Amino acid sequence: MAVRTKLLAGNWKMNGLREDAEVLARGLAQRATVAGGGRPACELLICPPASLLMMVGGVLSGSGVALGGQDCHAAPKGAHTGDISPEMLADAGCSYVILGHSERRHGHGETDAMVRDKVAGAWRAGLIAILCVGETQAQRQAGRATDIVLTQLAGSIPDGATSGNLVVAYEPVWAIGTGLTASLEDIAKMHAIVRASIPAGTRILYGGSVNPQNAAGILTLAEVDGALVGGASLDADSFWTIACCCAEPAA
Ligand code: PGA
């Protein structure tokens, strides 16, 4: 079986002005650099707001912590006021982009078809797409969680997906920013379902209120290949503590 190196991704969302963001990025870069051989057994990624990409990228340079965008347009360039293209993210030093996050799906009306076009755009620019999927509370209560997630996967992944260009993040909408997390059993179950419908070896992250207290339980589940962390990624100590919960990859 292929080794799946865990990925811990910090999604800063719409948080951070230059001064505090630089302190946060520097705190992470220092921990990653000082840790050297004692680094956590995972790849680290920070996805700051677009306004901070260049600055954060500069601070993280040489630390081994990767840079990613939080969203992008599908097109390479053009008359799309307020948007950012995958090529622009790559040009700013990004290697990843988060796509189809529930805050985009619900707050900006993004459909699976729109997300699929964005994933294709990300691949065109050489970025790895972190595709987010997840059910709402009402959908889970109605017994539709699996259906919803499988429909999102089927509709949002273009032809050409590989374990090298795609990461899936399972984020139950009701767990995002609420302090609620899915049970370990439900996480393992959904990850196994997701795994059966994506290319072998593709990493599946869990997201939704992951914090230093619950990270160890979640990140040591065999089906979990890392986490997408929002709130707790805004504190260098918390993010580092979560990173240190990543166990060695399954061989
Ligand atoms: P949270 O956000 O960790 O604050 O719940 C996760 C996410 O939205 O990616």
pLDDT at 249 over 60: no
Supply the DSSP symbol for 246.
P
Q: Are 118 and 72 in contact (CB under 8 A)?
A: yes
The pLDDT > 90 percentage for the chain reads: 92
Any ligand 1 atom below 6 A from CB of 69: no
**Residues 72, 89: contact at Cβ < 8 Å?**
yes
At 6, is the secondary structure helix, strand, or coil?
strand
Residues 206/227, Cβ–Cβ less than 8 Å: yes
Give the separation between CA 151 and CA 113, rounded to whole angstroms. 11
Q: Would you place residue 35 in the very low, low, confident or very high pLDDT band (cuts 50, 70, 90)?
A: low
Question: What is residue 200's three-state secondary structure?
Answer: coil
Our answer on whether the CB atom of 171 is closer than 6 Å to any ligand 1 atom is yes
- Non-local (6+) Cβ contacts of 55 within 8 A are 18, 21, 22, 25
Q: Whose CA is nearest to atom 3 of ligand 1?
A: 230
In this predicted structure, what is the pLDDT of residue 83? 98
| Residue 226 pLDDT class (50, 70, 90 cuts) | very high
Residue 116 C-alpha to ligand 1 middle, in angstroms? 22
pLDDT digits (tens, 9 = 90+) for 200-210: 999 999 999 99
Could you give the CA distance from residue 40 to residue 142 in angstroms, rounded to a whole number? Answer: 39
Q: Return the closest-CA partner of residue 75 out of 109, 10, 122.
A: 122
> So what's the pLDDT on residue 19?
97
More confident residue, 79 or 39: 79
Averaged over 211-221, what is the pLDDT? 96
Q: 73 an active-site residue?
A: no
* Pocket lining: 176 vs ligand 1, CB cutoff 6 Å: yes
**Average of per-residue pLDDT values in the chain:** 95
